């Protein structure tokens, strides 16, 4: 805007014979100056309002950037927490599987030991029964011979229990012969 309201008011025009009515020109100048003054006041007011709105806009823009940054950081934190939780879960599962495998291996080892021990005991039992059967058959044969022939002297092994049984049998044989 080139002219101020006062410059418009103070503007002088040259006169001519057939010119405009002075009072109308002055009234027009006053109206134009008033309109210009109102426009300048309104412009100043709008400029101040615009500055305030720009400041608010900038504050909101800064807040938006801060919020975006916070959201990004929160997402990164959440992602890291999830990643750490998954790693921890994998470690726990791995440890549990390893412990399970160790327990299973230990149980298989103990089972194998028990099976071996059972086989050993079974072999020992069979051997014992075979020896016992052989011994008993031998004693039965001796007893049978002793019953049929009293002149046969029965020689007994060094086992005291067997000796007692044999003495008992010989005594019974002698009693039966008398």
Structure tokens at 173: 């044989």
How many domains, in total, are found in the chain? 1
Look-up of token digits 């069979």: 126
pLDDT digits (tens, 9 = 90+) for 117-137: 999 999 999 999 999 999 999
Q: Are 5 and 40 in contact (CB under 8 A)?
A: yes
In this predicted model, what pLDDT tens digit does every residue of 137-167 receive, in sequence order?
A: 998 888 888 888 766 555 655 666 666 666 6
DSSP H or E segment with residue 155: none
Taking residues 51-75, report their average pLDDT.
96
Domain that holds residue 36: 5-177
Sign of torsion over alpha carbons 148, 150, 155, 159: positive
What letter would DSSP give residue 21? -
Say how far apart CA 170 and CA 16 lie, in whole Å.
185
Can you read off the two tokens belonging to residue 23?
């009072």
């Amino acid at each position: 805007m080139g002219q101020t309201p006062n410059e418009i008011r103070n503007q002088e025009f040259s006169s001519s014979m057939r010119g405009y009515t002075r009072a109308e020109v002055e009234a027009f100048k006053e109206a134009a100056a008033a309109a210009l003054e109102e426009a300048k006041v309104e412009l100043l007011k709008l400029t101040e309002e615009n500055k305030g709105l720009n400041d608010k806009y900038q504050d909101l823009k800064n807040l938006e950037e801060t919020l975006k940054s916070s959201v990004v950081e929160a997402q990164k934190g959440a992602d890291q927490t999830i990643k750490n939780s998954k790693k921890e879960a994998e470690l726990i599962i791995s440890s549990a599987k390893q412990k399970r495998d160790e327990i299973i291996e230990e149980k298989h080892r103990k089972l194998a030991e028990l099976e071996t021990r059972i086989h050993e005991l079974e072999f020992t039992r069979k051997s014992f029964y075979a020896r016992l059967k052989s011994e008993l058959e031998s004693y039965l044969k001796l007893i049978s011979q002793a019953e049929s022939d009293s002149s046969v002297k029965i020689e007994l092994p060094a086992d005291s229990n067997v000796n007692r049984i044999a003495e008992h049998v010989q005594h019974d044989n002698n009693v039966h012969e008398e």
